[in-house]
Amino acid sequence: MMRNTLNSINCVQCYQLLFSVVPSLSHFLSFNNFFPFSSLSFFNFLRMCGILAVLGCSDDSQAKRVRVLELSRRLKHRGPDWSGLHQYGDNYLAHQRLAIVDPASGDQPLYNEDKSIVVTVNGEIYNHEELRKQLPNHTFRTECDCDVIAHLYEEHGEGFVDMLDGIFSFVLLDTRDNSFLVARDAIGVTSLYIGWGLDGSVWIASELKGLNDDCEHFETFPPGHLYSSKDREFRRWYNPPWFSEGIPSAPYDPLALRNAFEMAVIKRLMTDVPFGVLLSGGLDSSLVAAITARHLAGTKAAKQWGAKLHSFCVGLKGAPDLRAAKEVADYLGTVHHEFHFTVQDGIDAIEDVIYHIETYDVTTIRASTPMFLMSRKIKSLGVKWVISGEGSDEIFGGYLYFHKAPNKEEFHQETCRKIKALHKYDCLRANKSTYAWGLEARVPFLDKEFINVAMNIDPENKMIKPEEGRIEKWVLRKAFDDEEHPYLPKHILYRQKEQFSDGVGYSWIDGLKAHAAKHVTDKMMLNAANIFPHNTPNTKEAYYYRMIFERFFPQNSARLTVPGGASVACSTAKAVEWDAAWSNNLDPSGRAALGVHNSAYENQINSAKAAVGPEKIIPKMEISPLGVAIQS
């Protein structure tokens, strides 16, 4: 009876009926008054999920359908609320949906008017309302932001992709000629892979685990590209001026930079579900939180969920990030949630982390683990998405190794290389470590328009010059240094860069190294180049992660999706050449930036009076009891 009743009423009536049956449910879900259900209104159903497509497989049997469903379930964590599969001949479009609210009209796939064009998508289109106005002769089936994709394709063909302002991965099937189109957003905020089967099929999946067992070859789908069945090749649709790595010359305009970033944050407040902000207490996340708190009151989100912003931070007890985040939260007046984890908690989660983020890159695993643990706690509170600060360091040269950039040309070219590689590192981490628990992360620093403004600044202004009082990301700090209406306290605005894996507590990385040393012997390292000839691990920590990765993803194609090469403090291999001493100190931690970081490894070395590499510097640790403590 309950099921039949729910099918005939709208979402608001559904909640009212549910709460009348279970009166305490409204209070339980309220998240300390975060969910005022009495203010429920019309919903724009964002399509964040996991997608899987098998195209042209020459097999329309029930057995094939069952296999596609089985593989799609491997992505269930990305969309735990609903699933679906659309079959057209030997083409299969599957999805796992992260439900927003309305279960009746929020299903995929999406169609045009006569259902001849079918779309499955993971993404959000921020300018969908403007795009709808450009399609007056079209009838839309839903109010979903992604509903414009099929209709834009009807009007503009493959050329419509650059019209989209947002993040997305989608597969579009045109049943009129049985052709298909696949595209990924400009920077690669959403994750996507492509594979090819021996039967001539093309496979598309949000994560590696959706296709690695059934494809002869597979690889990362390149960001800013599309793939058409008509051409059978990749074509780059994203062609901004900075991509050529030419040196820009526009003067630094702090107000223009500030306005561009504020707009990037505001457009991402498009929501009909509860959300929060990840707050580490560093510059980037603090600016995101400050802008969100400043503009939240006038948004539709505030009318639905209240104007009180919730912030979240994770770290070992006593970690630098926890202290700084609490101070920023108090300054901004957010409802702050502080999550603690122990070194042992993180070590216990490593295998799950590697399975979900699908990499053996050392710095990505180090940073993903605390984010993975935090995301689980955030989702348990009823939050559906968070806004985060990834991308700023790549755009502005915020990593500490940029102190050694020899000139503005090298500085700018390194930022270009870093942005182009984001989908292999920070975007991958932010997307997969949150989606492991059905939580979405939005990243305003990677807004297309903001990147254009920031990357058009003469890089001379971004150069780090301590003698002139210019530390890393000086142009961003200066843009938000408002004396009359301050966004942040001065010492937070000018706090030294901490990489996330360092900021959660220095003993976290040291603990990982100590744990790896117990499981990887010197004798094992002697054979590393023979066992792992591609991207040979050169530390015990890297070897340990590689063993776990290979167990989950043993195919050669899988190991080729992970980047390699020398790196210091998250640099590219090219930037290692900036300082001869770095070649003997290759470690992705910010503390490897000798002579720059306040807690650099060299300071530990000097205090110990021993010239040893960071692999050997493992301070005595006391592992606290298991369990994650929460303080709100």
Question: pLDDT, tens digit, for every residue of 50-76?
Answer: 999 999 999 999 999 999 999 999 999
* pLDDT tens digits, 270-302: 877 889 999 999 999 999 999 999 999 877 777
Sign of CA dihedral 217, 223, 229, 233: negative
Pairwise pLDDT comparison (503 vs 95), residue with the higher score: 95
Q: Is cis: bond before 109, omega within 30 of 0? A: yes
Residue with tokens 């932010």: 430
The pTM of the full predicted model, rounded to 2 decimals, is 0.87
Which CATH number, 3.90.1150.10, 3.40.50.300, 3.10.105.10, 3.40.50.620, labels domain 248-514?
3.40.50.620
Annotated catalytic residue 416: no
pLDDT value, residue 581: 85
Query: Residues 11, 49, 144, 570: which is the catalytic one?
Result: 49
* pLDDT tens digits, 413-443: 999 999 999 999 999 999 999 999 999 999 9
Pairing relationship of beta strands 91-97 and 82-88 according to DSSP bridges:
antiparallel
Pairwise pLDDT comparison (307 vs 55), residue with the higher score: 55
- Domain 50-239, CATH: 3.60.20.10
Q: Contact, 239 vs 227, CB < 8 A? A: no
Q: To the nearest whole percent, how much of the chain has pLDDT over 70?
A: 82
* pLDDT tens digits, 451-465: 999 999 999 999 999
Residue with tokens 């202004």: 461
CA distance 60 to 603: 64
Task: Tell me the average pLDDT across 9-26.
Answer: 36
Q: CB count, 10 Å around CB of 481?
A: 16
Average pLDDT over the chain reads 85
**In 242-361, which ranges are continuous DSSP H helix?**
254-267, 283-295, 300-305, 320-332, 343-357
Question: Would you state the torsion angle of the CA atoms of residues 55, 225, 71, 434, taken in this order, to the nearest 10 degrees?
Answer: -160
User: Beta-strand (E) ranges in 48-153?
Assistant: 49-55, 82-88, 91-97, 110-111, 117-125
CA distance 41 to 36: 11
pLDDT value, residue 19: 32
Find the farthest-apart pair of alpha carbons in the chain and give their distance in angstroms, rounded.
76
Residue with tokens 């180090």: 366
Q: Is the pLDDT of residue 6 over 50?
A: no
**In 555-611, which ranges are continuous DSSP H helix?**
556-560, 601-608
Question: What stretch(es) of the chain map to CATH 3.60.20.10?
Answer: 50-239
Helix (H, G, I), strand (E, B) or coil at 194: strand
Question: What stretch(es) of the chain map to CATH 3.40.50.620?
Answer: 248-514
Measured at the CA of 151, the angle between CA 87 and CA 83, to 5 degrees, comes to: 35
**Which residue type is seen at 323?**
R
Measured at the CA of 35, the angle between CA 31 and CA 41, to 5 degrees, comes to: 170
Q: Contact, 164 vs 125, CB < 8 A? A: yes
pLDDT value, residue 597: 53
